Amino acid sequence: EMGVTYLFIAHDLSIVRFISDRIAVIYKGDIVEIATAEELFDYPLHPYTRSLISAIPIPDPQLEKNKVLFRYDPSVHDYSEDKPEMVYIGHGHYVFGNKKEIEEYKEIREAGVPLKSVTIAENQAEIMRLSDEDLLAGDDEFLSAPVHDTGSFWYGFFSFFLPILGLIAGVVFRKHNYIRNYKSCKKGAIAGLIFRAVVILLFVILILLAYR
């Protein structure tokens, strides 16, 4: 829009995502993947890219505690004979790999199913079980959450006074992946319904006492 190009360098991909149009992932001085921000987060093909995305903090202590990290192990690559190179696989996407890896990356990308780099386990035992598994396929609600999914206090406030509308709004937010807004509306609406139920119960008790 402004005719300006700039280079932004950072470790935190969650920040890079909202600043950069195109992202280049570098491992030990070598570029291993290049793509637009949306493309890279939907289809992080190189295992190092996936490990970086899985390390992005989740702003919920319990979810962060149960998050399964995807660890990058360079030994998974066998470059003894089939040497790697940066290859364009379509969709504005470049990946570093040998012929075998590139074919696998192309197959995954052409399937059109976004990759999952973050998994939330139910407990620590499941974290240990999943941490070494290859976590593929599916959508990631935390990383793909819209920018305006803030979970504002006002959503809960208005849902408290208008619980039915709050529940409807919550359903709409949930459908469009506004998870924090959905939770705010849900909490406010439930609190509002409980408050009204208590008021009605007290009113009924007072009426019964009045007619004794």
Q: Name the residue range of residue 205's domain.
A: 153-210
The per-residue pLDDT for 138 is 40
Alpha-carbon gap, residue 167 to 189, rounded angstroms: 6
The per-residue pLDDT for 101 is 96
What is the arithmetic mean of pLDDT over 164-169?
92
- Residue ending a domain, among 130, 161, 187, is 130
The per-residue pLDDT for 130 is 47
Residue 178 lies in a domain: yes
Q: Which of 58, 56, 77 is nearest to 66 (CA)?
A: 58
Rg (CA), the chain: 24
Write the DSSP string, 159-205: HHHSHHHHHHHHHHHHHTT-HHHHHHHHHHHHHHHHHHHHHHHHHHH
Counting the structural domains of the chain, the total is 2
26 and 99 housed in the same domain: yes
Alpha-carbon gap, residue 69 to 120, rounded angstroms: 9
Q: Is residue 166 very low, low, confident or very high in pLDDT (cuts 50, 70, 90)?
A: very high
Query: Which secondary-structure segment (H or E) carries 64?
Result: helix 61-65
What is the arithmetic mean of pLDDT over 46-69?
84
Q: Is residue 135 very low, low, confident or very high in pLDDT (cuts 50, 70, 90)?
A: very low
- Residue ending a domain, among 130, 162, 194, is 130
Residue 3 lies in a domain: no
